[in-house]
Structure 1
């Protein structure tokens, strides 16, 4: 996930002898955010719906399980960051956009457009997954919806039966950790070419921790995308996964500069 290009004003002077590179247009950046979020949902939610249990939950001889789903989300962020990060900064997550803005690394004025693009991209991604599921054998689509369509949840809708308090704490803490990794690996003093790898692996780790607790959100766009196909229960609990990842992102963003100093935030 590259440093956001939105933080570099168009026409700003460059250092050294390298030629000036025009900044991407706002339309291009929004398209990149939509495509990156589409890829994240298609890869992550698609793996959860089609491959977590295969051929079925009772005889799961070929399914990838929690580990495979965690890797799928991490890999989609890694690939998306390399592909679209140079254009938009590779946020693909409203909590990331708002956290970067809180840290002074992204313009607040550009945040609404990014959020809309991410939400739209995510919904298109889950809709493609749903369209593919509708072509499955027998009642595959119905079963996927009844199983929550990889939605996030707590209580009886948590994979491990964890309650609301555990879900809130998990989403706030792990989203904050995710933001701290992003901010650290995309700081000017960091090695930018390795940032997507570190960020993708950190998201994999986050999923390994929290899939049993909430089915892992840390991303409101991902949560909305799956909930619209997960049905009433998923939509009823969606507020937790819209609000608390954002809280975690904002906490990390506002704390980053006081904790690590201005040089790390530039």
Structure 2
């Protein structure tokens, strides 16, 4: 239960503050500020709940850890369900705050930090570009996570390395997809944005999971694992 509670709180925090930065403060802090909001939220949770659950707060990371042999498969379902629930609650809290703005806030028009691609979405990148970015970015992200938390790695700085990697991924990818690399992070906001965001969710499940599996296989094979 403590693992589920930790993953729930961690994912809720990531969605609330990461997507919240885009929705509430995006016009003031810009792409760079939003990127750091996601990374700093992850760093905070890494040190807050890392000793409890490992601070996956991302189904792709959990799947990668299972493939790499870092997490028993029996725990994966609990982790993923807690992450998805946390993302929904984080998005719900953000929805309540955003729609409480004087003068109103139309989620259907302005969104809730959901991911996407194509005409009308940020840089209007193609589906192929979005898929390639999400797959490669998640692969590299999970490589950093598994490497920085492996045997012999300096555990004290793992959270910083992982969080800063998420910052860099956002700096490059916000205009491409809004950056998912995390099916739960995509799922929560999409539920409230509805319509088009939900129809595009498949990519933000498939690409990150494939990227995480590839990273897990490399560590499981011993090609990258220091064990």
Compute the TM-score of the two structures, normalised by the length of structure 1.
Answer: 0.83
Q: Find the partner of 1:213 among 152, 176, 184.
A: 176
- Cα separation, 2, equivalents of 1:46 and 1:261: 35
- Cα separation, 2, equivalents of 1:228 and 1:52: 21
Aligned match of 1:231 = 194
Aligned match of 1:93 = 58
Q: Find the partner of 1:43 among 11, 14, 17.
A: 17
User: How many equivalent residue pairs?
Assistant: 227
Q: Secondary structure at the match of 2:26?
A: coil
Cα offset, 1:261, TM superposition: 5.4
- Per-residue deviation, residues 44-100 of structure 1 (Å, max 9, x unmatched): 0111100001xxxxxxxxx10110110000001000010001000100000000001
> Is 1:83–2:48 an aligned residue pair?
yes
The structure with the largest alpha-carbon Rg is 1
When the two chains are superposed, the root-mean-square deviation of aligned CA atoms in Å is 1.1
Aligned match of 1:115 = 80
The alpha-carbon distance between structure 1 residues 261 and 137, as it changes in their structure 2 partners (threshold 3 A), is closer
Q: Secondary structure at the match of 1:240?
A: helix
> Is 1:106–2:107 an aligned residue pair?
no
Structure 2 unaligned regions, length at least 5: none
- Cα separation, 2, equivalents of 1:195 and 1:145: 38
- Cα separation, 2, equivalents of 1:259 and 1:154: 36
User: Deviation above 4 Å: which 4+ runs of structure 1?
Assistant: none
Aligned match of 2:115 = 152
Contact 2:15–2:87 (Cα < 8 Å) also in 1: yes
- Cα separation, 2, equivalents of 1:177 and 1:162: 21
Aligned match of 1:129 = 94
Aligned match of 1:196 = 159
Q: Secondary structure at the match of 1:64?
A: helix
Structure 1 unaligned regions, length at least 5: 1-26, 54-62
Cα offset, 1:102, TM superposition: 0.6
Q: Secondary structure at the match of 2:119?
A: helix
- Cα separation, 2, equivalents of 1:131 and 1:34: 19
Compute the TM-score of the two structures, normalised by the length of structure 2.
Answer: 0.97
Contact 1:148–1:234 (Cα < 8 Å) also in 2: no
